Amino acid sequence: MNAPVRAAVLGAGSWGTAFSTVLCDAGTDVRLWARRSALAAQINEFHENPDYLPGVPLPDPLYATSDPAEALDGADFVVIAVPSQTCRENLAHWRSLLPDDAVLVSLMKGIELGTSKRMSEVIREVAGVPEDRVAVVSGPNLAKEIVHRQPTATVVACTDGAVARRLQQACNARYFRPYTNTDVVGCELGGAVKNVIALAVGMAAGMGFGDNTRAALITRGLAETSRLAEALGADPMTMAGLAGLGDLVATCSSPLSRNRTFGENLGRGMTVEQVVQVTNQTAEGVKSCRSILDLARAHGVDMPITESVVSVVHECKTPEDMLRALLSRDPRPERRSR
């Protein structure tokens, strides 16, 4: 009889906890690492994560620990679910504890500041592993819906299709349907850029604009995401799938979206500093928008919505300035290469 597949999930925020639930429900043995020992103890005793998902029952088999060595021991999959800008530092601490043949799985949706590297690139660099040992999970996956076992779908991507299928099996629960893909670049860019577009959509909503504006921003946001992805060698069809359009629509439309909510507060007149003070979870687009814009400029890709979001978040422009700048751009063909 084969030993059960074991996963270590590093990060007990809402998405790390939700994905741990999926893995448990799929029959995978899961150890969830929490930074604070008090939170790990509460998860084990009460089967609940009171900090991020209060009142939601977690699977009885889910075991939490604040000891990374205990979490990582014997893991077949190491799932990294920390804020993207802390990935490098955290992984450097964990590197000596990583099992030799484990697949490293990124749940992170960001681009690293300073290097403009995707999370899989950071993982490969810090952990010293080949690309066929790094996978990503990306799609329209709002954590609060998933922990309530609402039907959802996602993409598990790895350049090695066999590894992607192994991960697919490990997280294939009755309500959670994973599809495989070998286009890691496209899946990661779709997941990162959609957070920036959601900030813009949120700002528009906060200013009182409706569905026409939201649809325009989503559609044009998808166009600029596709231009960047194609310039970096991704499959254009990925942007039409769950990791592209699917994730973009969910993040731009749902009140559960941190990035949309952050943008709404900006659109209502709050400053970035004020919104940060009232936000207890990371809105990845706030940090990643500048590195995404740097990446686009390095490859000669025009990303006007991303550029406008950067101007609000980092350059003291207002949402009204952003909208004015977008509307004053010269008319052009809807489709263009870059």
Give the pLDDT confidence of 194-242 residue by residue, as tens digits. 999 999 999 999 999 999 999 999 999 999 999 999 999 999 999 999 9
What are the C-alpha distances in Å from 197 to residues 114, 200, 215? 21, 5, 11
Q: What is the pLDDT of residue 336?
A: 67
Q: What is the pLDDT of residue 83?
A: 95
Contacts of 28 (CB under 8 A, 6+ apart): 4, 5, 6, 7, 77, 170, 171
**Host H or E run for residue 308:** helix 304-314
User: For the segment 54-102, what is each residue's pLDDT rounded down to a tens digit?
Assistant: 999 999 999 999 999 999 999 999 999 999 999 999 999 999 999 999 9
Does position 337 have pLDDT exceeding 60, yes or no? Answer: no
Query: In sequence order, what DSSP letters do the residues of 130-183 get, joined into one string?
Result: -GGGEEEEESS--HHHHTTT--EEEEEE-SSHHHHHHHHHHT-BTTEEEEEES-
pTM of the model: 0.94
How many Cβ atoms sit within 10 Å of the Cβ of residue 136? 29
Cα separation, 31 vs 6, whole angstroms: 8
User: Residue for token digits 């990643």?
Assistant: 288
Does position 3 have pLDDT exceeding 80, yes or no? Answer: no
User: For the segment 27-38, what is each residue's pLDDT rounded down to a tens digit?
Assistant: 999 999 999 999
Q: Supply φ then ψ for residue 63, to 5 degrees.
A: -115, 130
User: For the segment 240-288, what is each residue's pLDDT rounded down to a tens digit?
Assistant: 999 999 999 999 999 999 999 999 999 999 999 999 988 877 789 999 9
User: For the segment 129-181, what is each residue's pLDDT rounded down to a tens digit?
Assistant: 999 999 999 999 999 999 999 999 999 999 999 999 999 999 999 999 999 99
Q: What is the pLDDT of residue 1?
A: 46
Tell me whether strands 152-157 and 134-138 are parallel, antiparallel or unpaired: antiparallel
Cα separation, 232 vs 211, whole angstroms: 31
Q: What is the dihedral of CA 97, 98, 100, 103, to 10 degrees?
A: 170
Class of domain 188-327: mainly alpha
Determine what percent of the chain is predicted with pLDDT higher than 90.
Answer: 91
Residue 272 in contact with residue 266, Cβ under 8 Å?
yes
Q: Where are the domains of the chain?
A: 6-182, 188-327
Task: Map residue 302 onto helix, strand or coil.
Answer: coil
Contacts of 22 (CB under 8 A, 6+ apart): 146, 171, 173, 176
Cα separation, 250 vs 143, whole angstroms: 12
Terminus-to-terminus CA distance in the chain, angstroms? 54
Structurally, at CATH architecture level, domain 6-182 sits in: 3-Layer(aba) Sandwich (3.40)
Residue 338 — very low, low, confident or very high, per pLDDT cuts 50/70/90?
Answer: low
Residue 325 — very low, low, confident or very high, per pLDDT cuts 50/70/90?
Answer: confident
Residue 253 in contact with residue 138, Cβ under 8 Å?
no
Which residues belong to the active site?
Answer: 194
Question: Which residue has better confidence, 48 or 332?
Answer: 48
